[in-house]
């Protein structure tokens, strides 16, 4: 995904966000046009999106595009399904932030508040 001709590209490690001043990383995310979220374990990704508050920030990013193959997509609907659970989050379950709703034909629709 890094070789798609972006004007600039930065890396924000989710597991490091709790150690970074919230005002700093939130401004970085708000200034971003596209969030590239690669694969891995969807529940692990979800856990680290919730820990620093990124999951709560997402609905306010109305102009930001989320690009997420594999776990980067699976983390967005309300649940991923227990058969995809590899890493067990501390609270258990397969719930995710539920930022998008699955629409027919495989398209995603952002929730609007």
Range of the domain at 31: 15-110
**pLDDT tens digits, 67-95:** 888 888 878 877 766 655 565 666 666 56
Asked, for residue 5, whether it belongs to a domain, the answer is no
Provide the whole-model pTM: 0.68
Asked, for residue 90, whether it belongs to a domain, the answer is yes
Q: What CATH number has the domain bearing residue 89?
A: 3.40.50.880
Query: How is residue 77 annotated by DSSP?
Result: S
**pLDDT tens digits, 22-78:** 999 999 999 998 888 887 888 888 888 889 999 899 889 888 888 888 888 878 877
For the chain, how many structural domains are there in total? Answer: 1
| pLDDT confidence of residue 65 | 87
């Amino acid at each position: 995904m890094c070789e798609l001709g972006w004007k600039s590209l930065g890396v924000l490690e989710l597991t490091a966000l709790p150690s970074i001043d919230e005002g700093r990383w939130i401004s970085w995310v708000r200034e971003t046009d596209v969030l590239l979220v690669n694969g891995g374990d969807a529940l692990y990704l979800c856990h680290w999106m919730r820990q620093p508050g990124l999951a709560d920030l997402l609905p306010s990013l109305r102009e930001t595009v989320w690009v997420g193959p594999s776990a980067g997509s699976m983390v967005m609907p309300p649940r991923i399904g227990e058969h995809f659970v590899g890493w067990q989050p501390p609270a258990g379950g397969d719930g995710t932030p539920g930022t998008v709703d699955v629409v027919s034909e495989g398209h995603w629709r952002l929730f609007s508040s």
